[in-house]
Amino acid sequence: MGVSLKVLVVGSGGREHALVWKIAQSPEVEALIVAPGSAAMNSLAECRPHVGANDLDAIVELARVEKIDLVVIGPEDPLAAGLSDRLRAEGILVFGPSAAAAQLEGSKSFAKAFMARHGIPTAGYRAFSDLSEAIEYVRERGGRSVVKADGLAAGKGVAMCETPAEAESALREMMAEGRFGDAGHSVVIEEWLMGEEASYYAISDGERFVTLAAAQDHKRALDGDRGENTGGMGAYSPAPVVDQDVEQRVLERVVRPAIAGMAADGHPYVGVLFVGLMIDDSGDPYVIEFNVRFGDPETQPLMVRMDGDFLPILKSAAEGHLDPDAKLGWGEAAVCVVMASEGYPRSYPKGKEIRGLSEAEADENVVVFHAGTQPGAQGKGFETSGGRVLGVTARGETVQSARDRAYAAVDSIEFSGSQVRRDIGARALIPR
C-alpha cells in the first residue's frame, strides 16, 4: 500500500500551475488543493479561489480543517510574512523557509551582508535609505550601475542603468515616487557584473541539499536583452553556461556555504533555494540574488523536463531527512516562452479574449501554463487578467527542437496586444 497524501499548494500563477501539474502526477497524492489557484488549474486540483495566498489565517485554517499532510508555498510574499512559521506552529508539514530565512529574498541588504559574512562571491554594493545620498553616490561613482529595491517587488525591482542619469531616474522612481511601494524606500546600488546569467536551484532540509537542473531566464522585456526588467519573459533548461566545472564551483562557493551559513546563523533553510548567478568569462560564479521560492518562469521548463516523482523530495525536505543522494531524472530540454499583455511591465489592459489554446496544446510535447488569466465571458474560454498571461512550454530532444515547438504553439495563440520575445533560448544555440 503506497503513501496517500493530502497536499495544499499556495499560489495562483504560472509557477504554481507548473508545480500543481507536476505534483498531480505523483502516485502518492490522494487529494490536491490549491489556494487560491486559478480556473486553469481546475482540471488538476481542487481550487479554493476565496483563500488568498497572503491570507495567512485562512490558509492555516484550511490546512487544519482539511487535515493537510504537506503544504507547498509558491510565492515569496507569504513566506516573508511568516506563513511557514504559522503552519509549523500548528504541527503542519510545510515546504518553504521561515520568515527569518526568507529575508534572503525579502531584503537585498540582508542578503548582501549575509554573503559578505560567509564569503559568498557577489557584486560590490552600497545600501541607501536617503535619496540624496544615493544620487550623490551614483554621480560620484560614474559609469554603469544596478539599482535594486531592497524589498519584494515581484521580480521587477531592478534597474540596469548604463549611466548615472539613468540611475538617478531609477532612484527617484523607487525612493521618491514609490513605484514599488515600501519595497523601494531603501535601495541597494551594485556594480554591474559582466558575464552570462543562469538560475540554479537546490532543495534543502536545513542541513542537506539536492540540486535541480540549471536554467536560464530572460528578464528584459525586449529581444536582445533590451528594455525594462520584468518578472521574466521566458526560460529554458538546461543552460549550457552551467557545465560540470561551473556547477562544481557553484556548489562549493555558493550553495554549500549558503545552506551552512543559514544554519550557523540560526535560520536553517528548509525549501528551495534559487540562486540567480552571473557566470564570468572564466567560469566563476557571482550571486546576483537569492530567491526563497521556485522561479517564474524557470519552474515551467524545469517541471516539464523533470522525470519521475517530485513529491517525495518535497516531503522529505519538509520533514528534515532529505537523502542527499536522491536523484531526479531529467529529459533533454524544455523551453518556456511568456506571452505578456501590452504595456507590461508597466500598466496593461485586462479582459482580452484568448484564442487558440486547444490548438497550441494539440502537440503532446506542449503544456500551456496560465499566469494571468480568468474565465472568459459567459464562463467560456479564457481572457487576460495579468501582465504575464501564459507560459507556453515545450519539451524536446534539444533546446532547438523544444524552442521550435514552443514558438509554433505561441503562434497559434492570439489575444489583442500580446507581447512576446522571439529570442528565448538563443544563447543555448551559440557554439561554445
- Grid cell at residue 349: 489592459
Q: The pTM is what?
A: 0.92
Amino acid of residue 120: I
pLDDT tens, N- to C-terminus, the chain (432 residues): 467 999 999 999 999 999 999 999 999 999 999 999 999 999 999 999 999 999 999 999 999 999 999 999 999 999 999 999 999 999 999 999 999 999 999 888 899 999 999 999 999 888 898 899 999 989 988 889 999 888 777 666 888 899 999 999 999 989 888 888 887 888 889 999 999 999 999 999 999 999 999 999 999 999 999 998 888 999 999 999 999 999 999 999 999 999 999 999 999 999 999 999 999 999 999 999 999 999 999 999 999 999 999 999 999 999 999 998 888 899 999 999 999 999 999 999 999 999 999 999 999 999 999 999 999 988 889 999 999 999 999 999 999 999 999 999 999 999 999 999 999 999 898 876
Q: Which residues contact 57 (CB under 8 A, 6 or more apart)?
A: none
Instruction: Kindly give the pairing relationship between strand 234-237 and strand 216-217.
Output: antiparallel
At residue 207, the 3 state secondary structure works out as coil
Q: How far is CA 311 from CA 84, 216, 299, 301, 318, in A?
A: 18, 24, 15, 17, 11
- State residue 241 phi and psi, 5-degree precision: -65, -25
Q: How far apart are CA 213 and CA 200, in angstroms?
A: 7
Show the CA angle centred on residue 381, arms to residues 378 and 385, nearest 5°.
Answer: 90
Residue 1 is predicted with a pLDDT of 41
Instruction: Please give the CATH superfamily to which domain 333-429 belongs.
Output: Phosphoribosylglycinamide synthetase, C-terminal domain (3.90.600.10)
- Whether the ω angle into residue 301 lies within 30 degrees of 0, i.e. cis, is no
* DSSP H/E element including 368: strand 366-370
Domain ranges across the chain: 5-95, 126-190, 195-330, 333-429
Show the CA angle centred on residue 59, arms to residues 41 and 34, nearest 5°.
Answer: 10
Nearest to 387 by CA among 336, 349, 337, 355: 349
Which letter does DSSP use for residue 404 in this model? Answer: H
Q: Which residues contact 199 (CB under 8 A, 6 or more apart)?
A: 214, 215, 216, 217, 235, 239, 274, 275, 276, 277, 295, 298
In this structure, which topology does domain 195-330 adopt according to CATH? D-amino Acid Aminotransferase; Chain A, domain 1 (3.30.470)
Q: How far apart are CA 238 and CA 214, in angstroms?
A: 6
Q: Which residues contact 128 (CB under 8 A, 6 or more apart)?
A: 134, 137, 186, 187, 188, 189
Whether CATH 3.40.50.20 fits 5-95 = yes
What is the C-alpha end-to-end distance of the chain, expressed in Å? 49
Nearest to 54 by CA among 69, 71, 35: 35
- CATH architecture of the domain formed by 126-190: 2-Layer Sandwich (3.30)
Q: How far apart are CA 33 and CA 11, in angstroms?
A: 11
Helices 164-171/131-141 angle, 10° precision: 170
Residue 177 is predicted with a pLDDT of 87
